Structure 1
Amino acid sequence: MTTVGFVGTGRMGAPMVTRLVQAGYDVRALGRSPDKRAAIGESGARAVAALDEVADGADVVVVCVFTDDQVREVCLDGGLLDAMAPGSVLVVHTTGSPRTVEALAARAPAVAVLDAPVSGGPHDIAAGQITLFVGGDATAVERARPVLAAYGDPILRVGELGAGQWVKLINNTLFAAQLGMLREAASFGARVGVDEAGLLGAIGHGSGASRAAEIVGTRGSVQSFIESVGEFLGKDVAVVREVAAETGSDLGLLEGLLDVVVGAPSG
C-alpha cells in the first residue's frame, strides 16, 4: 500500500486527506494539537505529532499550508525534506514563489519536488475535481499522479519545476484583473442608471461573458465577491508582483486593474 504523508489539514487540506483515505491510501497527517489529531483520526488517517513521522516510510508527501514562508518553515527549517527517503516525491500545493520550490529541490536532490498549486475550493476537492497546475520532472509527475487523482482532476503538467507556480500566479492575476474590469463596468453602469445585479446577470449571456463574470453574477455584487476572496487573492497578487519584480519585469496594463481590486503595492 502506498503511504502518503500530509502537512496542512486546514480548509483545503482536510478534504484532500479524506479523499486519500477513501481511495485506500495509508495517510499520515501532521496534527500538532490534540484537537487536530482527533479530527485527523476521525477522517481515517493516522495522526502524527512530528514532521519526521510524516516523512517516515512515505512514498509521497503533500504540503498544503497557507503561505510560502510556512512551506519553507516546514520543509527546510522544520526538517521535513531531510527526513524524506531518497526517491520519494514532495508535492507542494501552496501557491507561492517559484523560487521556493527551486530552493527545496536544491536542498534535497534525491527527492523529486513538484509544485502543484490548485485552482478551486474545498467543494471541488470533495468532488474529486480540483484543478492542479503541476511543474516538475515528467516521470515524477506520473509517479505522483495516482495519489493526486484521489482529489485532483484535471492534473495538468505545465512544464518543469516552478512552472506550476507561474501558471497559477498568472491565472490568478488574470482573474483579479477581470474582477477589476467588472468592478469598473458596474461602476459605470450605476452612473448611467443600470442595476448591478441585472447587469451582471445579463453579461453572462453576451459576448462579455467570462468565468469571472459567471462566478460574480451569482453574488449580484462585484464588491461583495471581492471582499469574500480578498485575503486569498491579495496574497497571490502580492506574490506575483514580488516575483515579477525579481525577474526585472512588470505586469503592464494588468497593474491598473489589479489596483482596483487589491490596491497598489506598498512602498
Structure 2
Amino acid sequence: MRLGFVGAGRMGRPMVGRLVRAGHEVRVLGRTAEARAALAADGARPVADVAAAGEDAAAVLVCVFDDAQVRDVCLDGPLTDRMPRGSVVVLHTTGDPDTAEAVARRAAARGVEVVDAPVSGGPHDIAAGRISLFAGGADDAVARVRPALGCYGDPVLHVGPLGAGRRVKLLNNALFAAQIGLLAEAVRLGAAFGVAEPVLLEALGHGSASSRALAGVAARGSVARFAEAVGGFLGKDMDVVRRVTAGHGADLGALGGGLDALTAALDAAAGERTRTSTAG
C-alpha cells in the first residue's frame, strides 16, 4: 500500500519503521535535509512538502503533537490537494473532535475520508506492535486503513463514527490523569500516617490499588517526577477535556477532583524546582 506520513517524531518514527518493514511504500515528510537522510536510512521515501506526502496515497497518517499542528497540516496546508478520491486521512493526534470534523469537511471536497485514531501507549509499544488505537470513522474507511494501522496497533478498536476515537481517548487520558492526582493525594495522606512515599508505592503495587498509573509512578520513584514526565501531553489534553465537557453541557464530576489534584501536584513540583534552583 502506498502511504503518506506526517509527523515522524518520537511516536511517528517507530510507526514508519513498522510500516516499511511490513512492505508498505511510505512517503514521509522531512522538513530538513538531516531528517530526510535519516528517514531514507529507515527505508522510507522522504519528501520535502506536505502535498507530496499525499500524492497518489491510499492513506496519509498524521501523527503531530496537537490540534494547532493538525490544522496547519490538514486545514491550512495542501495535504489533500493531491490525494486521490477514496483515500483516507488518519489523525493519530489526541484533540478536539471538532477539529477532526473540520478536517473531514475540507477533505470531502476532494472525495477523501477521515478517520480519527489516537493512540494509547508509548514509543516502546509502537516498536513492539502493541499500541492501542481508538478509531472513529465510517466502517469502510476504517476497514481500508486497518491493514496499515495493524502494523503497529494491537488492538485497533473501532469505537464509533468520526470523532469517537478522540472522545474515547480524551476520557482515557482524563481517567489516567485523575488516577495520578489521586495517587498524589494518597502519598500526601501516607506522609501524615508516617508512611514514606517509596514504601507506599512499592506496597500498593502488590495490592488491589495497582494500576498502569501506579506502575508509571513507581518506575519514576515519585508522583512528582512522573507527573513532570507526562505533564506536557496530559496538560494540553486536559484543557481539551474541560472544553469538550463544557461544550456538551456536562461536568467532570469526580474526575474533576482527580484532575485538580494532579494540577496541584504539578504546581508543587514546579515550586520545588524553583526553590532548589534559587538555593543553588
| TM-score, normalisation: structure 1 | 0.95
1:195 deviation in Å?
1.4
Alpha-carbon offset, residue 40 of structure 1: 1.0
1:176 matched residue in structure 2:
177
Q: 2:240 matched to which residue of 1?
A: 239
Partner of 2:122: 121
**1:62-73, aligned counterparts within 5 Å?**
62-73=61-72
Stretch of structure 1 that moved more, 101-110 or 148-157 = 101-110
Q: Is the 8 A contact 2:181 2:263 kept in 1?
A: no
Q: Which residue of 1 aligns with 2:269?
A: none
**AA aligned opposite 1:34:** A
Measure how far apart 1:218 and its partner are: 2.2
Shift of residue 211, structure 1, vs aligned partner: 2.2
Q: Secondary structure at the match of 1:78?
A: coil
Task: State the Cα deviation string for residues 145-183 of structure 1 (Å, max 9, x = none).
Answer: 110111111101111100000000000000010011100
Post-superposition shift, 1:132?
A: 0.4
Contact 2:30 2:36 in 1 (8 A): yes
Paired position in structure 1 for 2:155: 154
When the two chains are superposed, the root-mean-square deviation of aligned CA atoms in Å is 1.3
Partner of 1:258: 259
Distance, in Å, in 2 between the alignment partners of 1:166 and 1:226 is: 23
- 8 A Cα contact 2:56 2:82, kept in partner: no
Q: Greater helix percent: which structure?
A: 2
Structure-2 separation of matches of 1:262 and 1:184: 12
Residue 77 of structure 1 aligns to a residue in which SS?
A: coil
- Compute the displacement of 1:86 (Å): 0.8
Structure 2 match to 1:163: 164
Distance 1:76 1:48 in 2: 19
Contact 1:173 1:237 (8 Å CA) reproduced: yes
- In the other structure, the counterpart of 2:273 is none
Alpha-carbon distance in structure 2 between the residues aligned to 1:88 and 1:21: 19
The secondary structure found in structure 1 opposite 2:156 is strand
SS in 2 for 1:124: helix
Residue 278 of structure 2 is matched in structure 1 by none
CA distance, structure 1, for counterparts of residue 101 and residue 94 of structure 2: 14
* Deviation of 1:104 (Å): 1.2
Q: For residue 58 of structure 2, what is the aligned residue in structure 1?
A: 59
**Which amino acid is 1:98 matched to?**
P
Separation of aligned partners in 2, 1:203 and 1:263: 22
Stretch deviating more after TM superposition (245-254 or 25-34): 245-254
1:241 maps to a residue whose letter is: R
- Tell me whether 1:99 sits opposite 2:95 in the alignment: no
Q: Deviations over 1:36-80 (max 9, x none)?
A: 111111111011011111111100100000010110110111121
Partner of 2:29: 30
2:133 corresponds in structure 1 to 132
In structure 1, the partner of 2:221 is 220
Residue 76 (str. 1) matches residue 75 (str. 2): yes
What's the secondary structure of 1:207's corresponding residue?
coil
**Percent identity over the alignment?**
60
Alignment partner, residue 39 of structure 2: 40
Q: 2:129–2:152: 8 Å Cα contact kept in structure 1?
A: yes
1:263 Cα deviation after fit: 5.2
Equivalenced residue count is 263
Is residue 201–residue 220 contact of structure 1 (8 Å, CA) maintained in 2?
no
Q: Provide the C-alpha distance between the structure 2 equivalents of 1:262 and 1:36, rounded to a whole number of angstroms.
A: 36
Cα distance in 1 for partners of 2:35, 2:251 equals: 41
